[in-house]
Each structure stands twice: as structure tokens, then as C-alpha cells.
Amino acid sequence: MKQYNPVTAEVVKALQDVVGEKYVKTAPDVLDVYKSDESLAPSYWRTPEVVVLPANTEEVAEIVKIANKYNVPVTPRSAGTSVSCGAVPVYHGIVLLMERMNRILEVNEEGMYMVVEAGVRTIDIQNLAKSKGLLYAGDPCSSDSCLIGGNLATNAGGNKAVRYGTTRHQVYAIEVVLPNGKIANLGAPLKKCSTGFCLDQLVIGSEGTLGIITKATLKLVPLCPYRLDVLAVFTDLGKATALVPNLIKAGLNPTSVEFMDNNFVRSASDYSDLRLPHYEDGYYDIISIETFNEDELDDKMEKLAAICEACGATDVVEADDRVWTVRRNCLESTRVFSKVATSEDLVVPVTKIADCIQSLVEESKKYDFRVFCLAHAGDGNLHFQILKCDMSDEEWEKQLEEFRDVAYKYVYGLGGRLSGEHGIGFKRLDYMEKYTDPVELELMKSIKRAIDPNWILNPGKVISAD
């Protein structure tokens, strides 16, 4: 296993020379803040030896050079909203905070793009685009707190991915500090390109293992003026999940299709003190449709209602604020049942989501934990929330391991993968090694070795260090 040197006073001094004394933190209480993310998985947390806050790309590059010189690892960190321990410094060393690099450098309405530093909050990008009558279509559920750099590193998904794709589809170009400290500009603000290797997409989603993204040129698209959200209620799980491919095939081009199982319908309704249709036995699909004109919206709504009914929906109503409140409160509502929980981020082909949910819910009945299911159903992304409830720690770990082995094997058999939008991080590293095709895994490692021979950048994530 890769060995690193400790962060010595000499390293700290070198970092101070780059960013200034004020922006190098070594106080234990500060370091403690950066040991974790939002995964609530203390066994994966690690405390950094030093935290640095660079002001610009050149400083990031210098920090990476220092890391190579002294053989200490660098873990880049955005807002720390990851739930996969992607920003946890597995080998300690340096945590590099992007939050000072928070400038929006250009909004080009004519060219429909925005140039931002990596530390800009996603919601600020969304709001600025909206104020210009445009849409930035990346929309992770944590958009009000996460930073765009983290979205890019994990290829974050979210609420609009069915129609607009994930974060990697919103990008024209990125500026990246490579593991050797050189600065690369990858991609270009072009609608098409056949000029060399597609390096921007290689770095996006690599979770900071192949480079630290410092800037991005983001695509903006026309903002749809018309929108309607529909709640389709089913009393049959299979029917509720079978709706999705029919919506896609009909050309309805929904912005999102969200699924909630009855566990979540009940718990989130209770938590929100709201009563929605079929509280006792309902499975919910919430479908958002956006259009550029009113007639088109009317037409799509008619088609949508017909499809929902043909698929066996019990109720098809407009999804008002109450529905979204319930949806938003899902995760929070499970705390009543269990303070300890873990979430899965499985993704399967859209046509398999009905089978997958049914099979895994059935499988979960063999265990003592409780499983609640939410899905970004329109893109096949399944979030199982697994609640420890009153299990012992030992049983919890043991049964979780058993369930995951069954579930992951099944999901890979369907053509699915471990993570749809949260990333592998540290949390899923062992499973990544176990379930990934060995040829693919070796290809990833050979690229990592070539680009980062000292294995300096974010070691212990995605693939294990040699």
C-alpha cells in the first residue's frame, strides 16, 4: 500500500509561502471540521494534518507541486456535501478547500455559457442564469449548499437529469490542475469537436483523482416558460415503476420523474403533517414537464394523463407545494425510526427499475433493518435508505454486508452500477474493486499511474492505491 510522509513544519511553511499564513490551518478544532462529510459514516472519517485555502489556480498548482515534493497527499474539498466520503482525507495530509475561489468570471448570454471558479455555489449559478432568462440545468438536491467543483468531480445528478443529463453534460470546458502541478485547459465552448482525446470528460467524474478542477465553462440553455408537475398515485408498485419507459417513448421528454414508495409516503407525510391521496397504500410518481409554449404543455398533459391512466394510476393530480414538501422531507422523516442509516445510490437501465425495486424490496425482508425506497425513476437511479433501527452494531454491519452483496450482484447483472450520482468516494471503494470488470479497473489504474505517478491526488477514492 502507498506510504506518504507526514506534514512537517517544513511543508506547512512551504504552504504558507504560497497562500499566506492566514490560509493555512493547523489548529485541531479546525482540522476536526474537515474529517467528515455528510455521509454520517464515522468509520470512514479521517482527520487532515493541514487545511489550505488557495485564492487562485496558480496557488492550487503550487500546492500540488509541494505535495509531490514532500510526498504528502492532497484531498480537494468543495462544500463537503458528499455522502460517499469523497472529500475525506483517507491518508490524512493536506485538505485543499476551494471555497475562496468563488468568482463568477463571465456570463455570456449570446454564447449561452457561464465561466465560474470551482468554489461557486451551484445555486448562485442557477439563479444568475435564471435572471438572464436562461437555465443552468445541473441541479443536485444539495444545490443550495454544494459547490460546482464538487458537482463536476462526482458528475452529480439531481432533479433535472432525465431531460438535461447530469453535470458532465452541462460542461463545455474545464481548467484543471493536474497531479504534476501543471495547468490544463480541457474541452472548448463548441457544439461538436473531433480534435484529440476527450480529456474533459475523463477528468469530470473522476472525483479529484486525476486533477483538481479549478474553473468551468458551463452550458446554459433556454429557460422553458411553462411547467406543470403531476402526481400520479398507484396502489401497485410494479405499475408505478412501469410508467417511466412509457413516458420516455411517448416523446414527453419529462424534466424529472421521481418515485416514492409507500414507506416514504407515510413517513414523510407524517413528518410534514400533510395528508396526500392514498397515504395508506400509495406509491407516488411525481412527473415534471416543461415546454416553450402553452399549447404544447396542454397537449403533453393530456398525453401524460392518458399514459398514467393506461398504466393503472389511481389518481392523477397536479403536484402542488404539499407534494414537494413531502418529497423534500423524505430523508429527514426517517430519523424518527433510526438515527443510524445508510443510503444506496444504485443505478439500473430505466426499463429494469420496476424489477429492481421489487426484487430488492423482497430481498430486504430477510434482514432486520428497514428499507425505504426513493428513486429518480426517470433515469433509473435508486436511493434505498436502509435504517438500522434497533439492531446491534455487529448485526447491522454483518447484515448490511450480506444485503449489499446480493443487491450489487443483482444490479450488475441488470447492467447497473454502484453509483448513479453520489460517486464512489472512500465509502464504496471496496465494492468498486469487487464489482468492476478487472480489465476496466486495470485500465483506470494505468491511467491514474500515468497521470499521477506519486498517487498524490485524492488517494483512497474510486480505485485503491497500488
Residue from 191, 280, 321, 365 that binds a second copy (CB under 8 A)?
191
List helix spans (H) across 284-352.
294-310, 321-328, 330-333
Cα(376)–Cα(379) distance, integer angstroms: 6
First vs last C-alpha separation in the chain: 6
Residue from 196, 280, 321, 365 that binds a second copy (CB under 8 A)?
196
- Stretches 32-40, 91-99, 318-326, 377-385: which one binds a second copy (CB under 8 A)? 377-385
**Residue 386 interacting with a second copy (CB under 8 A):** no
Closest CA to 362 of 443, 261, 433: 261
- Stretches 73-81, 107-115, 306-314, 328-336: which one binds a second copy (CB under 8 A)? 107-115
Residue from 254, 422, 455, 460 that binds a second copy (CB under 8 A)?
422
Among positions 339-358, residues that touch a second copy (CB under 8 A) are 345, 347-351
Cα(154)–Cα(147) distance, integer angstroms: 11
Residue from 119, 138, 208, 420 that binds a second copy (CB under 8 A)?
420
Among positions 240-299, residues that touch a second copy (CB under 8 A) are 245, 248-251, 292-293, 295-296, 299
Residue from 419, 426, 458, 465 that binds a second copy (CB under 8 A)?
419
Residue from 378, 382, 426, 465 that binds a second copy (CB under 8 A)?
378
The DSSP element (H or E) to which 248 belongs, if any, is: helix 237-249
Amino acid 411 reads: V
Cell numbers linked to 222: 433556454
Q: Specify the residue, 296 or 315, whose C-beta has the smaller distance to a second copy.
A: 296
**Residue 129 interacting with a second copy (CB under 8 A):** no
- Stretches 21-29, 48-56, 154-162, 361-369: which one binds a second copy (CB under 8 A)? 154-162
- Stretches 20-28, 106-114, 275-283, 392-400: which one binds a second copy (CB under 8 A)? 106-114
Query: What angle in degrees, to the nearest 10, is found between the helix axes of 237-249 and 294-310?
Result: 140
**Residue 306 interacting with a second copy (CB under 8 A):** no
Residue from 30, 193, 306, 336 that binds a second copy (CB under 8 A)?
193
Shortest Å distance, C-beta 187 to a second copy = 10
- Stretches 141-149, 385-393, 394-402, 436-444: which one binds a second copy (CB under 8 A)? 436-444
Q: Specify the residue, 6 or 222, whose C-beta has the smaller distance to a second copy.
A: 222
Question: Apex CA 401: angle with CA 398 and CA 271, to 5°?
Answer: 90
Shortest Å distance, C-beta 349 to a second copy = 5
**Residue 389 interacting with a second copy (CB under 8 A):** no
| Neighbouring residues of 216: CB distance < 8 A, sequence distance ≥ 6 | 115, 116, 118, 148, 149, 152, 171, 173, 174, 175
Q: Specify the residue, 53 or 118, whose C-beta has the smaller distance to a second copy.
A: 118
Q: Specify the residue, 48 or 150, whose C-beta has the smaller distance to a second copy.
A: 150
- Stretches 12-20, 269-277, 387-395, 435-443: which one binds a second copy (CB under 8 A)? 435-443
SS3 63: helix
Q: Specify the residue, 49 or 344, whose C-beta has the smaller distance to a second copy.
A: 344
In the block, cell 455570456 appears at: 108
Shortest Å distance, C-beta 464 to a second copy = 12
Q: Specify the residue, 237 or 444, whose C-beta has the smaller distance to a second copy.
A: 444
**Residue 336 interacting with a second copy (CB under 8 A):** no
Cα 414 to its chain centre, rounded Å, is 21
Cα(303)–Cα(297) distance, integer angstroms: 10
Cα(332)–Cα(349) distance, integer angstroms: 28
Cα(46)–Cα(454) distance, integer angstroms: 21
Q: In the chain, helix, strand, coil percent, each to 5?
A: 40, 20, 40
**Residue 131 interacting with a second copy (CB under 8 A):** no
Number of residues lying near a second copy (CB under 8 A): 86
Cα(439)–Cα(451) distance, integer angstroms: 19
**Taking the C-alpha atoms of 58, 59, 65 and 67 in order, what is their torsion angle to the nearest 10 degrees?**
-150
Contact 226, 292 (CB under 8 A): yes
- Residues 398-417, one symbol each (x = binds a second copy by CB under 8 A, - = not), give -----------------xxx
**Residue 444 interacting with a second copy (CB under 8 A):** yes
